[in-house]
A and B are shown apart, each in its own frame.
Chain A
Amino acid sequence: MALSQNEVLVGLAEIVNEETGIDVESVQMGKSFTNDLDIDSISMMTIVVNAEEKFGVKIPDEEVKNLLTVGDAVNFITSAQG
């Protein structure tokens, strides 16, 4: 059963919180991972791998650089769920 956009956002916020300690409330669609949330490339990869596991999707390395905002990641995961 595919998750809604909002459910993916909530799940992703939990992963971000676990990796970085950032409040789940701060993880919003329009936020940039690097500029707003100050997430470095290594933490980003950890978040990506944990998201793959949690949502059962594949996020290729070449796709990761396109995921600039939380919204980009949520949209990619939502559509990748099929």
Chain B
Amino acid sequence: MNQIKLSQYETTRYSRIYSLGAARGDLVVTNDDIAGPIDSSDEWIRQRTGIITRRRAGKDQSLMDMSVAAAKEAIAGAGIQPSEIGAVIFSTISHPFQTPSAATLLADLVGANPAPAFDISAACAGYCYGIAQADALVRSGVAKYVLVVGAEKLSDFLDPTDRSISFLLADGAGAAIVGPSDEPGISPTVWGSDGSHWESVSMTHSLLEFRDGESPWPTIKQDGQTVFRWAVWEMAKVAQQALDVAGVKAEDLTALVTHQANIRIIDEMVKQLKLPEHVAVARDIVNTGNTSAASVPLAMHQLLADGTVKSGGLALQIGFGAGLAFAAQVVVLP
């Protein structure tokens, strides 16, 4: 009797990041520009966050505009045709439509139509979540190339009088192409979530409360002290685990690229990880601000663009934020 043999995907052993793309909000917003409504000062903001300027998009620059620019740069850098993209993963919390996804529109706009395309909501961990999924899709043979985008226009969801987080937030888009590789290029991902702190970084109100006239426009808020403690001491453990599962030591790294939440978090994590001085530490927050899902690819792109690091080195990248959600992996710099 003949048995029907089902076809399954042919797997690929390794994957890597081929290229990155970056786009930031057109406006350079200084601390003095935003200090008034929070009764603050340039000095206070610099001291607590490290931010000197943040990049924001004006009314005429949309989330999709920045995403298309970043995605096109990544596609060109990878040397592939958009039609070769087998999946589009878009991480954002600031796409202003409940449905459809931002990913399907982006796929169409960059010439990747009809690739499967979907959004993920993992806030500041979103890009690293996306890389984990892209790595799995490539190695399982589902897609040859995957476009991962982390993009935010957070300025649409902030309250200028909020003293907990508004002065950190910024707008931008980062993109990566992940594809097959002869050598390992993306380590196992250490990722997870802790929904018991669901409200630590969240919206002030639900959309239903806003609809019913019970609240103003929902904006982002955080419990800074709780988040700081988690982001430094818990995430330092996650970063160490990522190094361990990658079989890499801190001194083997070329760069540390954390989510650009606050320079004090970055500096404290460097201390916790006992990073040697030769490891470049991304501090894109100083000029860009906190762009949530976009911050890791933007910061890595900056290190490569200004020549601080070269392609081929190892970088530990870690995203963490609302959820609370987190993800870390070691990658070969594209």
Q: How far is the CA of A61 from the CA of B232 in the complex (A)?
A: 14
Query: A44–B48 Cα gap in the complex (Å)?
Result: 12
Q: A interface, by DSSP: helix, strand, loop or mixed?
A: helix
Is residue A40 within 8 Å, beta carbon to beta carbon, of the partner chain? yes
Count residues of chain A with CB under 8 A from any CB of chain B.
11
Q: How far is the CA of A26 from the CA of B232 in the complex (A)?
A: 28
Give chain B nearest CB distance to A49 CB in angstroms: 6
Residues of B within 8 A of A44 (CB): 225
How many B residues touch A, CB cutoff 8 Å? 13
CB atoms of B48 and A42 under 8 A apart: yes
Which residues of chain B from 214 to 242 have any CB-CB distance to chain A below 8 Å in the complex? Answer: 223-226, 228-229, 232-233
Please tell me if the beta carbons of A49 and B225 are within 8 angstroms of each other in the complex.
no
Provide the bound-state CA to CA distance between A53 and B258, in Å. Answer: 24
Map CB proximity to A onto B35-75 as digits: 1 under 8 Å, 0 otherwise: 00000000000011000000000000000000000000000
Chain A residues lying within 8 Å of B47, measured Cβ to Cβ, are 40
Cβ contacts under 8 Å, B223 to chain A: 61
Q: Output the residue of A40, A41, A45, A46 with the most chain B CB within 10 A.
A: A45
Against A, the Cβ 8 Å flags (1 = close, 0 = not) of B233-268 are 100000000000000000000000000001010001
Interface Cβ pair total, 8 Å cutoff: 27
B48, A45: Cβ atoms closer than 8 Å: no
What's the minimum C-beta distance from A38 to chain B, rounded to whole angstroms? 11
Task: Tell whether A64 is near chain B: CB-to-CB under 8 Å.
Answer: yes
- Which residue of B226, B233, B262 contacts A61 across the interface (Cβ within 8 Å)? B226
How far apart sit A17 and B268, CA to CA, in the bound complex (Å)?
Answer: 16
B232 contacts which chain A residues (CB < 8 A)? Answer: 46, 49
Q: Are A40 and B233 within 8 A (Cβ)?
A: no
Residues of B within 8 A of A61 (CB): 223, 225-226, 229
What residues on B are CB-neighbors of A45 within 8 Å? 225, 228-229
Q: Tell me the nearest residue of chain B to A19, going by C-beta.
A: B268
A2 to B225 Cα, complex, angstroms: 28
Q: A40-B47, A40-B48 are in contact. Are A46 and B225 (CB under 8 A)?
A: no
Residues of A whose CB lies within 8 Å of any CB of B are 40-42, 44-46, 48-49, 61, 64-65
17 of the cross-chain contacts (CB-CB < 8 Å) are: A40-B48, A41-B228, A42-B48, A42-B224, A42-B225, A42-B228, A42-B262, A42-B264, A45-B228, A46-B268, A48-B229, A49-B229, A49-B232, A49-B233, A61-B223, A61-B229, A64-B225
Binding site for A on B (CB under 8 A): 47-48, 223-226, 228-229, 232-233, 262, 264, 268
The 5 closest A-B pairs by CB, nearest first: A61-B226, A42-B264, A45-B228, A45-B225, A45-B229
